[in-house]
Amino acid sequence: MTGTGAGPGGGAGTGTGPGRGPGPGAGTVRLRPPANTLDARAIGWWRTQWALLTVAPVAVLAVLGAFIDPARTWLLAGAAVLAVLGLLCTLLIPLWWFRVHRWEVTDAAVYVRTGFFRQVWRIAPMSRIQTVDTVRGPLEQLFRLSTVIVTTASAAGAVEIRGLDHELAAELAERLTVITQATPGDAT
């Protein structure tokens, strides 16, 4: 590690990269946003999750409204409000998430940035990586996506890159394994 510098969101950067030549503060590296976006199919994956989360309570309220005559108006009104809100969330939030989720892997670290109002930057130095896993849930399999989970000795938990093409995720896991094996450190 050549040094650290405070970056946007209060995080610290590690490693070296393009445009970081010698000069004043050459030992300090400024954190930059990770370069890679997720696979565009992640939008459909997130929309499907939102739709499933919306359909269940709307269906329950609609069925109850059909059978409970005294509360029918309130139950069906609640179902309608939830359906409209769920539809808006299904359409808009995945687009927003896609715009703000970024990731990158360098020879020095794994970088992940999520969030808009509350940005979260996660950086896992290669010397701290303990395991690299790929996970594909049923919906991810349907959309041919995977999640790469990088486990470190951090109390904050694993660094997760969700919404990657399943082939890219396998290549990334293999690359991370090779890099971490070649990186000195005890990963604790």
- What digits encode the pLDDT tens for the residues 11-41? 334 333 344 344 454 445 566 779 899 999 9
Judging by beta carbons within 10 Å of its beta carbon (0-12, 13-18, 19+), is residue 32 exposed, middle or buried?
middle
Work out the number of other CB atoms within 10 angstroms of the CB of residue 140.
21
Question: Residue 186 — φ and ψ, nearest 5°?
Answer: -105, 0
Structure tokens at 123: 């950086």
Report whether 61 contacts 54 (CB < 8 A). Answer: no
- Integer angstrom CA distances of residue 73 from 52, 60, 70: 24, 14, 8
Q: CA-based angle 83:84:87, to the nearest 5?
A: 85
Rounded Cα distance, 75 and 48, in Å: 24
Where are the chain's structural domains? 40-100, 140-180
**Which residue matches tokens 């938990």?**
157
Rounded Cα distance, 18 and 120, in Å: 23
Report whether 104 contacts 34 (CB < 8 A). Answer: yes
* pLDDT, tens only, 163-186: 999 999 999 999 999 988 877 766
Run means of pLDDT, 10 residues per run, the chain, 188 residues: 34 39 49 87 97 96 94 95 97 94 91 88 89 94 96 87 95 92 70
Predicted model pTM: 0.76
Rounded Cα distance, 24 and 150, in Å: 34
- What are the residues whose beta carbons fall under 8 Å from the beta carbon of 174, sequence distance 6 or more? none
